[in-house]
Structure formats: structure tokens, C-alpha cells
């Protein structure tokens, strides 16, 4: 176990599946205890918690709708009550429904912005404040290449992720130097969501590398941003998108 990781605590939103799950399990392998939230995927949450605990570290799964401020605040309270601190927050929860702009309802618009920006803002602000008071911490926001190179049919999602990118830069200045805040701008990855893709989409992508990424290829970036090796990196948007 890395001595820099011993006793550390991570809080991950959307941690039962996808990138959040991959990051949580790897952090546990590196010696971190992991609190994570999920919305409705109880079975996936139990499986992820079991995988974390098999590493010998503690897991705390918490049901939470990240788009609701009250639930987000309760999530933070649960993590601090259980572990006494949070050393790293990974704002990973999100959704990206593809709907023609003229068919987007107000309810869908609010839901997409709530999950991808409003909730992450509240969670990051509450945790960053406590981290600064405690003398240090790291926040990693998981964004999307769609914020930098927006595609048609996902305007609310692209806008919310662009706001998340702006939040990263602003909070890095607001809560630094004690708290470092960075963004992973992720491209397509072969996580649970890719099971709904066509066979071609799982093999090829419109990027410089010509393929989607494997989960371990984004996990390494999260480990770097969580570690002292990135001590001079904050307010950064790190593209992990295969050259989109």
C-alpha cells in the first residue's frame, strides 16, 4: 500500500457504475476507503461495495439523487459522519439524453442541468469548504468532450458540462491553495453505458486514436490528479478523449 494513500477517504458521485465505479475500485486497491452514491441501481451498488471491500478497504454506498440539493447535503454528511473527513471528491454523476432541441421539455432541461451541474456544484462547494478548513483536499470533476466540441441533439448536456468546466477554474481560485480542483474531460469509454452502443461504436470512434477508451485509461488520470504528483496542477481541464 502507498503510504500517501493509507487512511485516505474518497467520495464519488455516481460511483456504482461506469467511470465512477472503475475509479472507486482502483482507489481502494491503492489503499483508499470509498464512499459513493447511486440513485436506483441497488444491485450494482452492492456489487461495487463488495468489490471495494474485497481490497480490504471500507465502502459506504449511499442512495442519492445528485440533482437534489437536500440529498447532496445528506450525502456529504454521511461521508463525514462515517469517515470523519473526505480527501478527494470525484464529481462523476451525470446523464446525456440525445433529444432534438425543439423537443426538449422544461422538465428534461432542468433534470439534465440539475444532475450535471447544479448538484455537482452544491456537492463540490460543501466539500471544498470543509477541505479548506481542514487544510487540504482534491476535487475532480468528470466532464465531457461534448463541452469543448458540442454535438447536435445534446445542447442541455453540453451546456451543463461547459458550466462544470467553468466551475473547476473558478473553484480552484476560490478554495486554493489548500484545495486543488481539476476536470477530466472524458471521451467515449467502454463502461456499462457502452452495452447499448452498436458493435461498430464499441470498436471505432471519431477521434485521433480511432477507438473508444478502456476504463483503465481514464482511471490512471484520476490517480494522477488525486496524488501529490499533480501538486502544481489545479484549475486544469485534462482531456482524456483519444484526441477528439
Q: Which residue among 38, 157, 175, 224 is the active-site one?
A: 157
- Sheet containing strand 9-12, strands side by side: 59-63, 33-38, 9-12, 88-91, 137-144, 179-186, 237-240
Strands 179-186 and 237-240: what pairing? parallel
Whether residue 157 lies in the annotated active site: yes
Inter-residue contact 144 to 127 (CB < 8 Å): no
For the segment 73-130, what is each residue's pLDDT rounded down to a tens digit?
Answer: 999 999 999 999 999 999 998 888 889 999 999 999 999 999 999 999 999 999 999 9
β-strand partners of 139: 89, 181
User: Domains of the chain: which residue ranges?
Assistant: 9-240
What's the whole-number mean pLDDT along residues 5-20?
A: 89
Confidence of residue 6 (pLDDT cuts 50, 70, 90): low
Does a cis peptide bond (omega within 30 degrees of 0) precede residue 177?
yes
Nearby residues of 32 by Cβ (< 8 Å), 6 or more positions away: 5, 8, 9, 10, 57, 87, 88
Confidence of residue 5 (pLDDT cuts 50, 70, 90): low
At residue 41, the pLDDT reads 83
Q: Tell me the C-alpha distance between 9 and 80, whole Å.
A: 10
- Cα–chain center distance at 18: 10
**DSSP character string of 70-120:** HHHHHHHHHHHHHHS--SEEEE---------GGG--HHHHHHHHIIIIIHH
Of 98, 174, 84, the C-alpha closest to 132 is 174
Angle at 57 between CA 51 and CA 60, to 5 degrees: 75
For residue 34, report the phi and psi dihedrals to the nearest 5 degrees: -135, 120
For the segment 26-68, what is each residue's pLDDT rounded down to a tens digit?
Answer: 999 999 999 999 998 899 999 999 999 999 999 999 999 999 9
* pLDDT score of 197 more than 70: no
At residue 3, the pLDDT reads 41
What's the whole-number mean pLDDT along residues 226-233?
A: 96
Inter-residue contact 208 to 198 (CB < 8 Å): no
Three-state DSSP class for residue 178 = coil
Cβ count near 229 (within 10 Å): 11
Q: Tell me the C-alpha distance between 35 and 55, whole Å.
A: 14
For the segment 134-191, what is each residue's pLDDT rounded down to a tens digit?
Answer: 999 999 999 999 899 888 889 999 999 999 999 999 999 999 999 999 999 998 888 7
C-alpha cell at 226: 488525486
Fold designation for 9-240 = Rossmann fold (3.40.50)
Strands (E), the chain: 9-12, 33-38, 59-63, 88-91, 137-144, 179-186, 237-240
At residue 4, the pLDDT reads 47
Amino acid at each position: 500500500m502507498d503510504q500517501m494513500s493509507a487512511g485516505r477517504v474518497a467520495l464519488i458521485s455516481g460511483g456504482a457504475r461506469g467511470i465512477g465505479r472503475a475509479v472507486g475500485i482502483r482507489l481502494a486497491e491503492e489503499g483508499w476507503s470509498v464512499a459513493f452514491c447511486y440513485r436506483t441501481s441497488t444491485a450494482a451498488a452492492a456489487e461495487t461495495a463488495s468489490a471495494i471491500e474485497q481490497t480490504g478497504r471500507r465502502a459506504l454506498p449511499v442512495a442519492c439523487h445528485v440533482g437534489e440539493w437536500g440529498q447532496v447535503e445528506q450525502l456529504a454528511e454521511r461521508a463525514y459522519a462515517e469517515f470523519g473527513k473526505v480527501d478527494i471528491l470525484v464529481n462523476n454523476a451525470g446523464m446525456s439524453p440525445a433529444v432534438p432541441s425543439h423537443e426538449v421539455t422544461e422538465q428534461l432541461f432542468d433534470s439534465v442541468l440539475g444532475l450535471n451541474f447544479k448538484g455537482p456544484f452544491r456537492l463540490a462547494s460543501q466539500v471544498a469548504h470543509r477541505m479548506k478548513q481542514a487544510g487540504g483536499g482534491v476535487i475532480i470533476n468528470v466532464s465531457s468532450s461534448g463541452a469543448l466540441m458540442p454535438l447536435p441533439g445534446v445542447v442541455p448536456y453540453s451546456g451543463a458540462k461547459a458550466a462544470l468546466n467553468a466551475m473547476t477554474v473558478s473553484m480552484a481560485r476560490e478554495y486554493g491553495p489548500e484545495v486543488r480542483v481539476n476536470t477530466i474531460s472524458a471521451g467515449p469509454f467502454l463502461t456499462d453505458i457502452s452495452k447499448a452502443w452498436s458493435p461498430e461504436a464499441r470498436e471505432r470512434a471519431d477521434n485521433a486514436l480511432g477507438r473508444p477508451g478502456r476504463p483503465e485509461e481514464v482511471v490512471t488520470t484520476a490517480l494522477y490528479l488525486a496524488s501529490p504528483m499533480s501538486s502544481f496542477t489545479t484549475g486544469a481541464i485534462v482531456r482524456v478523449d483519444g484526441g477528439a
